[in-house]
A and B are shown apart, each in its own frame.
Chain A
Amino acid sequence: EAGVVQSPRYKIIEKKQPVAFWCNPISGHNTLYWYLQNLGQGPELLIRYENEEAVDDSQLPKDRFSAERLKGVDSTLKIQPAELGDSAVYLCASSLGTGNTGELFFGEGSRLTVL
């Protein structure tokens, strides 16, 4: 069974440019998460989806970040415009559902470098 798939793995852009990351969760997983991980830090939650509904986006900087999960499957995370401080790894994870205390399955991450 395929795991969580993310693309691109690496992206280098200049500041003020837009960037988008894509995530395909494990089939059947209703809950999808986007986390941000800075070097030497743990993952920090940006947004959590239950099916197609964003149920927790309190940590998402909405002035420049946006996310969507159409049809409750794949998800995209967009940054526009990117700033130098956005350089980080963006991790997507999925799980069977909240309230379910099961594990999170993470993708390999998308590493963003903003020049």
Chain B
Amino acid sequence: SQKIEQNSEALNIQEGKTATLTCNYTNYSPAYLQWYRQDPGRGPVFLLLIRENEKEKRKERLKVTFDTTLKQSLFHITASQPADSATYLCALDNSNSGYALNFGKGTSLLVTP
């Protein structure tokens, strides 16, 4: 069966450090992978998209890598700030269902001063 797995435990890091979140998938052949941020009581907000033929993508303090051999994406936030505290969701297109996005459970990140 298809699975999208993200760190189930919350990630606690100190302000200024780099946060690294993991997304692993099985039985998908995604053309692209997306990362979203979700704050409590709010809808998810798009952060980054990386295509299958791209190894790395950057946007300001964010960096995403995509390894289709390992079936894994890593999401990095450098120089983390307390305002980065949120849940981060990994999403893959599902070619079996018309390319609609399937989401992982998300990883909760807490950045402490």
Contacts and interface: CB of A to CB of B under 8 A. Distances in A.
A103 B49 CA distance: 8
Given A45-B101, A104-B101, 17 more contacts: A41-B105, A42-B4, A42-B91, A48-B100, A56-B98, A56-B100, A98-B99, A98-B100, A103-B46, A104-B34, A104-B36, A104-B44, A106-B43, A108-B42, A109-B41, A109-B42, A109-B43
B15 interface: no
User: Contact size class for A?
Assistant: 20 to 34
B51 interface: yes
13 contacts: A4-B43, A40-B105, A41-B105, A41-B106, A44-B103, A56-B97, A98-B99, A104-B46, A104-B101, A108-B41, A108-B43, A109-B41, A109-B42
A99 to B, nearest CB: 7
A45 B100 CA distance: 8
B100 A103 contact: no
A22 interface: no
Contacts of A48: 97-98, 100
Contacts of B99: 98-99
